[in-house]
Amino acid sequence: MSERIVVVGAALVDDGRLLAARRSAPVELAGRWELPGGKVEPGETADAALVRELREELGVDAEADGRVPGEWPLKSPYVLQVWTARLRPGSAAPEPLEDHDELRWLRPGEIWDVNWLDQDVPAVRQTLAHLGAAEGLT
Ligand code: CDP
């Protein structure tokens, strides 16, 4: 049986809004929205991978503050896990530096306005169930 590789997605929340990122590549994913993130590298923890990916992809200084329960299958061998994250004080505002061509801070009621990747839909739904009320997202 082959190993599975975890892809971490960030539920980056700020001021009651959730960040969504529109992919610019590869072509089959371009135009679809996702929780930004990427693959956990060998020897790396999931939360460290999340902080690294957010720095690389969005230029932000973020911290992971807890995992959303659950795991969603991607194309084998990848599985998607979601961590909640927030910007550290003094962080730059997120910018689409690589992989993305647009960002949106979604307010409650706007969460389903973007065309999420199919596999992110259950992950976003679970994220809202997990932190919606506490973060003012629902
Ligand atoms: O940046 P890195 O190469 O580590 O990873 P990526 O290309 O951003 O993501 C790896 C795979 O996970 C891709 O096939 C993405 O489509 C998928 N992914 C996803 O389905 N949902 C996310 N929220 C993030 C990544």
Closest residue to atom 2 of ligand 1, CA basis:
38
Cβ of residue 94 lying under 6 Å from some atom of ligand 1: no
The stretch 62-72 carries a mean pLDDT of 96
- pLDDT for 109-124, tens place per residue? 999 999 999 999 999 9
- When the pLDDT of each residue in the chain is averaged and rounded to a whole number, the result is 95
Beta-sheet strands, E only, within 44-131: 62-73, 78-87, 100-106
Tell which one of 23, 74, 75, 100 to mutate to probe ligand 1, the residue whose CB is within 8 A of the most ligand atoms.
Answer: 74
Asked whether residue 132 carries a pLDDT value surpassing 90, the answer given is no
DSSP label at 41?
P
d(CA 122, CA 79): 13
Cis amide leading into 73 (omega within 30): no
Which residues, including other chains, have CB under 8 Å from residue 96's CB and lie 6 or more apart? 21, 22, 24, 57, 58, 102, 103
Asked whether residue 2 carries a pLDDT value surpassing 70, the answer given is no
Asked whether residue 44 carries a pLDDT value surpassing 60, the answer given is yes
Cβ of residue 38 lying under 6 Å from some atom of ligand 1: yes
d(CA 3, CA 13): 31
Asked whether residue 1 carries a pLDDT value surpassing 90, the answer given is no
ipTM of the complex: 0.93
Which residues, including other chains, have CB under 8 Å from residue 5's CB and lie 6 or more apart? 39, 40, 77, 78, 79
Task: Give me ligand 1 centre to Cα 107, in Å.
Answer: 24
